[in-house]
Amino acid sequence: MAASQLHVALAGNPNCGKTTLFNLLTGQNGYVGNWPGVTVEKKEARLSSDASVIVTDLPGIYSLSPYSPEEVVSRDYLMSGEPDVVIQLLDATNLERNLYLALQVVECGLPVVVALNMADLVEKNGDKIDTDALSKRLGAPVVMISALKNTGIDELIATAKQAAGAKNAVLEHKFDSAIEDVLDKIEALLPASVPAAKRRYYAVKLFERDEAATKYVNPTKEAAATIDQIIAQCEADCDDDAESIIAGERYAVIAHIMDACVKKAPAKMSVSEKIDRVVTNRILGLPIFVLIMWAVYSIATSADAFGTAGTDWVNDCLFGDGFELFGMAFPSIPGAIEGMLAAAGASELVTSLVLDGIVAGVGAVLGFIPQMFVLFVLLSFLEDCGYLARVAFVMDRVFRRFGLSGKSFIPMLVATGCGVPGVLATKTIENEKDRRMTVITTTFIPCGAKLPVIALLMGALVGDGEAGWISPLFYFLGVAAVIVSGVMLKKTKLFAGRPTPFVMELPAYHFPSLRSWWLHIWERVSAYIKKAFTIIFASTVVVWFLMNFGVYEGAFGFLPEITGGLEEFTSYSILAMIGTAVGWIFIPLGFSSWETTAMSISGLVAKENLVGIASTILAVGDDTGLSPELWQAFGGLFPTAGAIAAFGAFNLLCAPCFAAMGTIRAQMNSAKWTAIAIGYECGFAWIVGLLINQFYLLAQGVFSLWTIVAIAVAALLLFQIFRPMPRWAWDDDRAEVKAAAGATA
């Protein structure tokens, strides 16, 4: 470590504002999630005002026990010797709860500065916190700040720098003297290698029988035996287990601190609580969520709204007929490029590649930027203001009824932005079966990149944005797929088990800081733009090549030339061959042309690619971009509206993009489980497509062998959904009891 560098660790409970503070201090735009554990890994960046200071944002935790991945990451880092000072962040509106972790961090023996965050809210509540008294009791400087309103930050940094120099923090809070005696005895038995400042921390950990800490300290055999005796004696005296004894002591200390340092304003119901009475209401909670998401998707995709107006302008003007500004006529982008190519004397091949391939494909994807923007303006607002945290809470009640944990819904809320962080957010689910199940089902939720696909489908189904109500249906199709899959999978041996309990602090509602709101929007929109110029760009080139080259009358070459300008030249292309070879899989779903097959495959690379490739495939000889013409051409590939819906359902539910599949692979950390995940997603998507198409046909009076298959499959699904939870499914509790009984017998 370079002597001039200072490492500052940010520790605190979930939702106490660590990420907000981290972003403020470092100018980063990390994810401010309103749920626990979106940050499982620690994050590092330099202080914007002083590059010699390195700040580390630790995952939010409630305790320094070793039970969750977040706790392990945080305490390993605190004990690693790297941090010079810890900023222990507390949500001052929730002091009592937050002090539980703060006490433990103070016990770590590192220089600590306690930052009381949300000063703005404390002031509003009228609570009075005596920071001097608190500082004395905790043995650490205390600074009031507001990360959101940027107050007290300079003082916090100055205090942290000062504290980093001061070695030998003295522990001020004491447990009951009997317990202190026991801890002293254990301290004395620790090997000399444990440094003075950390002896108390390890004494407590050994007393709690914390295996990781014991392994690390590695006491001699005799010492370990003596310690065991001491603990057993103390447990007998207190008639409680060691961990609970320590927890009880901490609560006692906290009660004293609260008494001495905090004057609560007379309780009145806060605005947040009033809103929550309605929003998280048992009966109203779910319909309100449905209405809100409905509105979000309708606004982002409906005709009158800004989103579509923007998209239309981009499509019609930039990529369509050109536009007029201040009385000057501008050509469209394709028009301008066409002009340039013609002036440069480009060949037919180059012109085709650039215009029909790249410009059509990338242009179609870029055309969605305004809609993406509106979608993320709305989603980020819902998240930053604190609403989505409530949704997790509301959904917990729904999920629990089906034996699922509400914890599984958090990754799904994240996945509404992008599946990659969604899958990553599953890390916080401790129960392995639940975690795997969540990884598998999370990407059913439509991410931002699926929005263009939904819009394309909507256009093909009902024409120009007349029916904005269709797009929310695809969102709820995703939610339904998650719930139905969860219910079915929970009744299989692979995923059975009781739901894990779900606890979460709900932050008070507030207007998002414009900065974090904007960063949030920009993070997603810029990723989308970047993808358009990289992955989508490359894909359109590849697809253009596959579609324009092929074999005609025994010769391989550039089809528009070797077919002598045959209108249907693409049916001789390599892409047509590949599409035809694979397309039969989709016959029962009602779409099996090589074009739709190629689009589905391209969607596996990136979902918005499907729209780019549709535009490339259908725009041959014509530079329409995303437009009513494209919708019509696209719709023309399908025999019925049912087939279009089946195509949509299949593509929105099947395996996600490459990036998300890679993340699934990393999360599962097993080839077998990755295969199960991708296989289940594709299989489930195929079945939903089958049901939609066949039942649509049946309603039209068309009956075939596939109708029988569809009815049989539907019956099986309904059976698996509605049969009671099998007896063995929640047997693991009993199995444990039996194992314990066997061990003592």
Name the minimum Å distance from CB 503 to ligand GDP. 14
Neighbours of 689 (CB within 10 A): 27
Helix axes 285-301, 271-279, angle to 10 degrees: 90
Name the minimum Å distance from CB 383 to ligand GDP. 8
All residues at 6 or more sequence positions from 18 whose CB lies less than 8 Å from its CB, including other chains = 10, 11, 12, 57, 58, 60, 89
Q: Is 32 in the site for ligand GDP (CB under 6 A)?
A: yes
Residue 93 near residue 125 (C-beta atoms within 8 A) = yes
Query: How far is it, in rounded angstroms, from Cα 296 to Cα 381?
Result: 11
Tell me how far apart the terminal alpha carbons of the chain are, to the nearest angstrom: 55
Query: How far is it, in rounded angstroms, from Cα 334 to Cα 349?
Result: 16
Nearer to Mg ion, 38 or 614 (CB): 38
Q: Is 435 in the site for ligand GDP (CB under 6 A)?
A: no
Rounded alpha-carbon distances, angstroms, from residue 113 to 22, 171, 254, 344, 492 = 15, 13, 18, 67, 50
**In 190-220, alpha helices (H):** 196-207, 211-217
Name the minimum Å distance from CB 315 to Mg ion. 38
Residues touching ligand GDP, count (CB under 6 A) = 24
Nearer to ligand GDP, 38 or 230 (CB): 38
14 binds, among Mg ion, ligand GDP, none (CB under 5 to 8 A by kind): ligand GDP
The pattern of x and - marking residues 374 through 393 that bind ligand GDP according to CB under 6 A reads: ----------x-x-------
Q: Is 449 in the site for ligand GDP (CB under 6 A)?
A: no
Furthest C-alpha separation in the chain: 97
- The correct pick among 17, 83, 219, 648 for binding ligand GDP (CB under 6 A) is 17
20 binds, among ligand GDP, Mg ion, none (CB under 5 to 8 A by kind): ligand GDP
The pattern of x and - marking residues 107 through 136 that bind ligand GDP according to CB under 6 A reads: ----------xx-xx---------------
Nearer to ligand GDP, 356 or 505 (CB): 505
Residue 436 near residue 675 (C-beta atoms within 8 A) = no
Query: How far is it, in rounded angstroms, from Cα 540 to Cα 341?
Result: 19
All residues at 6 or more sequence positions from 412 whose CB lies less than 8 Å from its CB, including other chains = 422, 438, 441, 442, 445, 479, 482
454 binds, among Mg ion, ligand GDP, none (CB under 5 to 8 A by kind): none
Residues 47-86 interacting with ligand GDP (rule: CB under 6 A): 60
β-strand pairing of 323-325 with 328-330: antiparallel
Instruction: Tell me which residue of 124, 42, 122 sits closest to 142, measured CA to CA.
Output: 122
Q: Is 23 in the site for Mg ion (CB under 5 A)?
A: no
Nearer to ligand GDP, 275 or 676 (CB): 275
Helix axes 221-238, 177-189, angle to 10 degrees: 170
Residues touching Mg ion, count (CB under 5 A) = 2
302 binds, among ligand GDP, Mg ion, none (CB under 5 to 8 A by kind): none
Q: Is 26 in the site for ligand GDP (CB under 6 A)?
A: no
Residues 516-575 interacting with Mg ion (rule: CB under 5 A): none
Name the minimum Å distance from CB 519 to ligand GDP. 12
* DSSP-derived secondary structure for 233-285: HHHHHHTS-HHHHHHHHHHHHHHHHHHHHEEPPPP---HHHHHHHHHT-TTTH
Residues 260-299 interacting with ligand GDP (rule: CB under 6 A): none
Q: Is 144 in the site for ligand GDP (CB under 6 A)?
A: no
Sign of the Cα torsion 22, 407, 374, 606 reads positive
**In 283-386, alpha helices (H):** 285-301, 306-313, 333-344, 348-351, 360-366, 369-384
Nearer to ligand GDP, 12 or 363 (CB): 12
Nearer to Mg ion, 33 or 588 (CB): 33
The pattern of x and - marking residues 145 through 184 that bind ligand GDP according to CB under 6 A reads: -xxxx-----------------------------------
Nearer to ligand GDP, 386 or 472 (CB): 386
417 binds, among Mg ion, ligand GDP, none (CB under 5 to 8 A by kind): none
* DSSP-derived secondary structure for 439-459: HHHHTTS--GGGHHHHHHHHH
443 binds, among ligand GDP, Mg ion, none (CB under 5 to 8 A by kind): none
CA angle 477, 479, 481 (to 5 degrees): 65
Name the minimum Å distance from CB 14 to ligand GDP. 5
β-strand pairing of 85-91 with 112-117: parallel
Name the minimum Å distance from CB 520 to ligand GDP. 11
Query: How far is it, in rounded angstroms, from Cα 304 to Cα 297?
Result: 13
Q: Which residue has the tokens 């609403």?
A: 387
Query: How far is it, in rounded angstroms, from Cα 460 to Cα 645?
Result: 10
Nearer to ligand GDP, 433 or 520 (CB): 520
Name the minimum Å distance from CB 475 to ligand GDP. 23
Report CA 556 to chain centroid distance, whole Å. Answer: 47
Q: Is 491 in the site for ligand GDP (CB under 6 A)?
A: no
β-strand pairing of 43-47 with 50-57: antiparallel
411 binds, among ligand GDP, Mg ion, none (CB under 5 to 8 A by kind): none
Query: How far is it, in rounded angstroms, from Cα 264 to Cα 266?
Result: 6
Nearer to Mg ion, 121 or 536 (CB): 121
Q: Is 185 in the site for ligand GDP (CB under 6 A)?
A: no
Q: Is 626 in the site for ligand GDP (CB under 6 A)?
A: no
Name the minimum Å distance from CB 386 to ligand GDP. 6
- The correct pick among 23, 39, 438, 624 for binding Mg ion (CB under 5 A) is 39
- The correct pick among 400, 510, 561, 682 for binding ligand GDP (CB under 6 A) is 510
Q: Contact positions toward ligand GDP, by CB under 6 A?
A: 12, 14-20, 32-34, 60, 117-118, 120-121, 146-149, 384, 386, 507, 510
Q: Contact positions toward Mg ion, by CB under 5 A?
A: 19, 39
